[in-house]
Copies of this chain bind each other. A is one copy, B any other.
Amino acid sequence: MNRPITTIKQIADATGVHPSTVSRALDPKKRHLVADDVAKRIVAQAEALDYQPNRLAANLRLGRSDLIGVLLPDIANPVFAPILGGIAEVLSAQGYAPIVADAGNASSQQICFVERLLSQRVDGLILATVSQDDELVGFCIQRGLPVILVNRSEARDRVSSVVSDDDMGMRLAVDHLVGLGHRRIAHVAGPLSTSTGALRRDGFERAMLHHDLRGVVREATGYTREAGAQAAQHLLAATHDVTAIVAANDLLALGVLDVLKQRGLRCPEDISLVGHNDMPLMDVVSPPLTTVRIEHREMGRIAAKMLAERIKSGSPEIRHVVLRPELVVRGSTAFRAVEADA
């Protein structure tokens, strides 16, 4: 009934051989070093005793842990669920297990979590938390810990990353709106300290410029619905002729939507709205959100795969994978209202 933890030594005793022989017999790569009949007896005995190798012990010897730390800024944010799903999927297929930490946005707290993970001797780290110039990344590099950035990247290219093409994403959004006749387009940017905030803002401005347009930009204080609402308030208070808004992220877009409703503005009739991410359920909000889709799950998968390779190869090669986003047109964007033309 109670934990009859079987060790290699017990198998050895039961089989009348030395523990080292058992170890070899149980390792596929070393089994050839053991006489066939002995190996069979050992394997049989191991099964009979329901042996589970103790990875703690093995890993202490081998200097690894088969553990990967995953740092998220906010588990509750729905975009991270699919990323985490992709990560978990690949990691477990590769023999690793993910330790997730909901580490927030504060560098100090993140480092605290990483130190914890370090003492657990994680083999690598996947960061979804980084800012443009991140203290944490330097911290990890210093300690020689393999790191991959996912979703957000760094300004300096110190480590590998998997992100979406933010520039293209914004181009898709702006081109779509311009194609619908919009000219006065505003942007609710994410925190400019994050790559997604800064690069999407840049992308927005570049895409607008390409059409000889300039748009108002308002930076939100965080990637939350509330921050989006707040930014939208400011935006609408300052400018009266905006016909479309591009948000740096769906959550921000929802916040914008809240303000539109609250102000009696209809979406898309009065103001068109484009989000970013296409996170779960964006097709079912009202109106269904036109947004730039990012394959988050795939993003997680690639990040995990790259990290596993990085660990196995040991080579510190830096690679940046940039995924192509895709515009999903739904109900929150429409032709520019004629009245607004005046």
Contacts and interface: CB of A to CB of B under 8 A. Distances in A.
A56 B53 contact: no
A19 interface: no
A54 B280 contact: no
Contacts of A56: 56, 59-60, 65, 120-121
Interface in A73-127: 75-78, 80-82, 84-85, 88-89, 92, 97-102, 113, 115-121
A3 to B, nearest CB: 4
Nearest to A331: B286
B121 A54 contact: yes
A101 B91 CA distance: 10
Contact of A119 (B55, B92, B143, B144): B55
A55 B281 contact: no
A125 B52 CA distance: 17
Contact of A101 (B53, B97, B119): B97
B52 A115 contact: yes
Given A100-B88, A101-B97, A280-B78, A121 B285 contact: no
A237 interface: no
A61 B115 CA distance: 21
A284 interface: yes
A75 B106 CA distance: 25
A100 B84 contact: yes
Contacts of A119: 52-55
A67 interface: yes
Given A56-B120, A57-B60, A254-B284, A1 B142 contact: yes
A109 to B, nearest CB: 10
Contacts of A257: 284
A57 B60 CA distance: 6
A214 to B, nearest CB: 31
Nearest to A85: B75
Contact of A76 (B113, B115, B280, B285): B280
Contacts of A295: none
Interface in A176-194: none
A281 B284 CA distance: 10
Instruction: List the 9 shortest-distance A-B pairs measured between CB atoms, nearest first.
Output: A286-B286, A3-B144, A75-B85, A2-B144, A88-B102, A284-B285, A97-B99, A56-B60, A52-B119
9 contacts: A3-B144, A54-B119, A66-B120, A76-B85, A77-B81, A97-B120, A98-B100, A257-B284, A281-B285
